């Protein structure tokens, strides 16, 4: 009981489960047409990847609740299972989705697959970094929780971009991509402001906002990178 009382005051985001649930809703709405609206015509790999990605967010919904309830042993067990089993499957699924996309060019606007592949590879590297940091800082709540939160932000842009297509003004590929990453940067900025309000700005969100800014800016130049196009041709042939 004393451990439970001691950690209650250290709860960083008491409403984290709700926030992660909202991320799950955004994902569902974003993919409601491109995935959920045509489940019968989607291959098994998309189903598996979708289930694993959704599973990651669901785990993140459960973890803050367990922590808040003082069920720390179960929190740690689920965290280890997610980090060492679910997360590698999520990354492998992401690579498979990139490969499938690059082999299905007809389904995308000209040049779009190379841009999307770049964004996906970039996001995979960010996920690796954030999860590694979250694991290595597992005993430092202020860092661990923030790095875990960032893994969901990395996953959101594809869903946000698809959701924006439901708004008439967002009628082009470039608009939705730029807007989706801008929204993620704004969210990260809000988290930074919240840190400042609480008295200390920790490194995770500062690092993340720089990485997201680089991703946003660079996505507008990828079409001019012949070396990237050549690299994707090699990846496609694997």
Report CA Rg, the chain.
Answer: 19
203 closest CA partner among 152, 96, 129, 117: 129
pLDDT, residue 3, reads 44
Show the beta-strand stretches assigned E in 134-210: none
Predicted local confidence at residue 222, as pLDDT: 93
Residues 6+ apart with CB under 8 A from 164: 170, 175, 176, 179, 180
Tokens for 205, please give them: 């969100």
DSSP 9-52: TT-S-TTHHHHHHHHHHHHHHHTTTTTGGGGGGS-HHHHHHHHH
Share of the chain residues as helix, strand and coil, in percent rounded to the nearest 5: 80, 0, 20
CB 25 within 8 A of CB 70: no
10-residue stretch averages of pLDDT, the chain, 238 residues long: 47 85 92 80 87 95 92 94 95 94 83 94 97 95 94 96 89 91 97 93 97 97 94 93
- Confidence (pLDDT) at 36: 79
Give CA–CA dist 224/98, Å, rounded: 20
Angstrom distance (rounded) from CA 128 to CA 134: 10
Q: Output the CA–CA distances (angstroms, integers) from residue 233 to 76, 96, 98, 128, in the order listed.
A: 41, 15, 12, 24
Structure tokens, 93: 């699924």
Phi, psi (degrees; rounded to nearest 5) at 94? -60, -45
Cβ–Cβ contacts within 10 Å for residue 77, how many? 12
| pLDDT the model gives residue 176 | 94
Q: What is the pTM of this model?
A: 0.91
Could you state, in order of their start, the residue ranges of all structural domains in the chain?
2-236
Predicted pLDDT at 10: 60
The answer to whether the CB of 182 falls within 8 A of the CB of 156 is: no
């Amino acid at each position: 009981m004393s451990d439970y009382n001691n950690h209650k005051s250290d709860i960083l985001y008491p409403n984290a489960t709700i926030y992660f649930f909202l991320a799950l809703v955004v994902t569902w709405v974003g993919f409601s047409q491109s995935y959920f609206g045509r489940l019968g015509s989607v291959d098994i790999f998309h189903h598996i990847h979708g289930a694993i990605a959704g599973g990651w967010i669901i785990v993140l919904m459960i973890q803050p609740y367990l922590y808040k309830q003082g069920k720390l042993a179960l929190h740690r067990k689920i965290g280890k299972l997610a980090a060492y089993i679910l997360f590698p499957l999520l990354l492998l699924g992401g690579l498979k989705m990139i490969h499938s996309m690059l082999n299905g060019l007809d389904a995308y606007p000209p040049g779009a697959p190379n841009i999307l592949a770049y964004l996906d590879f970039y996001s995979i590297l960010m996920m690796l970094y954030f999860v590694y940091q979250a694991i290595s800082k597992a005993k430092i709540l202020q860092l661990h929780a923030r790095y875990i939160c960032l893994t969901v932000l990395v996953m959101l842009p594809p869903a946000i971009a698809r959701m924006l297509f439901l708004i008439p003004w967002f009628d082009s590929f470039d608009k939705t991509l730029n807007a989706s990453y801008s929204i993620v940067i704004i969210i990260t900025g809000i988290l930074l402001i919240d840190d400042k309000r609480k008295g200390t700005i920790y490194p995770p969100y500062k690092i993340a906002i720089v990485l997201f800014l680089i991703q946003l800016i660079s996505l507008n130049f990828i079409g001019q990178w012949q070396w990237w196009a050549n690299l994707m041709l090699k990846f496609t042939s694997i």
